[in-house]
Every structure is written in C-alpha cells, then in structure tokens.
Amino acid sequence: MGALNGKTALVTGGSRGIGRAIAQRFGRDGALVAVHYGSNEAAAKETVDSIERDGGRAFAFRAEFGQPGDAAALWEAFDQQVTAFGEPGVDIIVNSAGIAGAGLIHEVTEEAYDRVFAINVKAQLFVTQLGLERMRDGGRIVFMSSGVTKVAFPMMTAYAASKGAIEVLSLTLAQTLGSRGITVNTVSPGTIETDIHPWLADPELKKGAAAYSVFNRVGQPDDVAGVVAFLASDDSRWVTGQNIDASGGSGLSIL
C-alpha cells in the first residue's frame, strides 16, 4: 500500500525538473497527481504519461504565473479536471514552480524584480490561500526555497530575496494552520542537475559544482523528491515550520 494512497496532490511546475521528479514520486506512492505547467504542454504530457506507465494516476493542466488572477485560474482549471476522478479537494500542495533572476544589486531592474516576486512569492501565496478552501484537514504544504538563502549569493539578488520571503511565509503558515493539522515546511535544494542549469553540460563547471557537496557530486531531482515525499506523508505529521536542507551538505565547509 502506497504512503499516499487516497490522497490528491498538486505539484506546481510539475512538468519539468524537480517538480517532475516530485510528481512521479507521488504517483508511485499512490497519490492522484495534478501536474501544473505554465507553458510546456508536451513536457507536462510526458510527466503524466510516465506516472501512468508506472501504474499511477495523474492529469495535467495549465495556468501561467505572473499574470493577474493566476492563482484563481489555476484552481479553476484544477477543479474542472479533478472532478472527473470523483475526488474533489486536495490533500497536498507542493509549490515547486519558480524562475531564476540573475543580477547583482546594481543590475536588477524593477521589471525583473516584479516578475521574480510575482511568480516566486505572490503566486505561491495566493495559490496556497485559495487551496486552503479545498484542502482537507491534516493536509501537507511544501514550499521550495534554495541554498542561496544560507550564504551570500550576490549574483542572484532578487531571486535570493524571493526565496527568503518564501521561507518566512512557510514559517508563518505553519503557525496559522496547525489547528487544522496541516503541516507547512520548506525544502532548500542546492545545485540540481536539471535543464534550468544548462551550464552543467560543461565538465569543468560540473566538477566545480560537485565540489560544493560533501558527497562530491551534483544533486539529482530524485534526491529532492525523496525529501518532499517524506514531508507529504503521514510519517512527517510531527514536523512543521521547518526548512529542510537538501543540498548534499553544500556550504558545510569553507572552500
């Protein structure tokens, strides 16, 4: 019996990278998985197909973040599809969708800042807010942060600030939602080998990235998905308001 049998899980940004690995893990664990995507329909279909090939259940739906009413549009699309499975409502929300935002402080434009915060913070706050109307008591909420909040990372000023905001939001919601038995936690990956990091194709750059981890390798999406799967399960029922480092020990040593 899967750890998530009978549960419905929403994974934003579930069509690629870490989000895809989380969606696939949830499918193997028995959940009905709602795979959200912003633009890449083909990638979302591939994710759903992979879950179904493994015997799971999933559906994909589109909602573009960073637009007015994006959170409401997401839940409207979710509601339309989930009813076909006869299981309205949601038990698990993983806020995995996000964008990077490179730039030192003097390079950050208002336009770039607004876009990073609209997608990485505002959309996630309101997706969660509206999701609470549908979430059953005892649910699970997981936010994705980043190792850039643990060390100075000036090349990603706006992005790092947005992830810091997510960590505080998660902590606040954990206090607010405890009375409903809902846990709220954050996972902070380090460098993970996905298509968002094309520079890892360079062997020398990849070797340098691997050196940050005590395991001397670059993290894989499944490394993070396993942590999220724990936080989504009943085994994590006594864990809330925590930020779990999933960086392979990056930053433990002074290089």
pLDDT tens, position by position, 130-169: 999 999 999 999 999 998 888 777 887 998 999 999 999 9
Place of tokens 């994974």: 11
Give the CA distances from residue 222 to residues 19, 140, 218, in Å, rounded to whole numbers and listed in that order. 10, 19, 12
Q: Which domains does the chain have, with CATH numbers?
A: 8-246 (3.40.50.720)
Contact 163, 117 (CB under 8 A): no
Lowest mean pLDDT among 23-27, 64-68, 199-203, 240-244: 199-203
pLDDT at 196 over 80: no
Report the percent of the chain where pLDDT is more than 70.
Answer: 98
Residue 113 bears catalytic tag = no
Question: Which phi-psi region, left, alpha or beta, contains residue 80 (left: φ > 0; alpha: ψ -120 to 50)?
Answer: alpha
Res 254 pLDDT > 70: no
| Torsions phi, psi for 9 (to 5 deg) | -120, 135
**With bands split at pLDDT 50, 70 and 90, how would you rate the model's confidence at 68?**
very high
In the three-class reduction of DSSP (H, G, I as helix; E, B as strand; rest coil), residue 59 is classed as strand
pLDDT mean over 110-134: 97
Among candidate residues 37, 113, 159, 212, the one labeled active-site is 159
End-to-end C-alpha distance for the chain, whole angstroms: 45
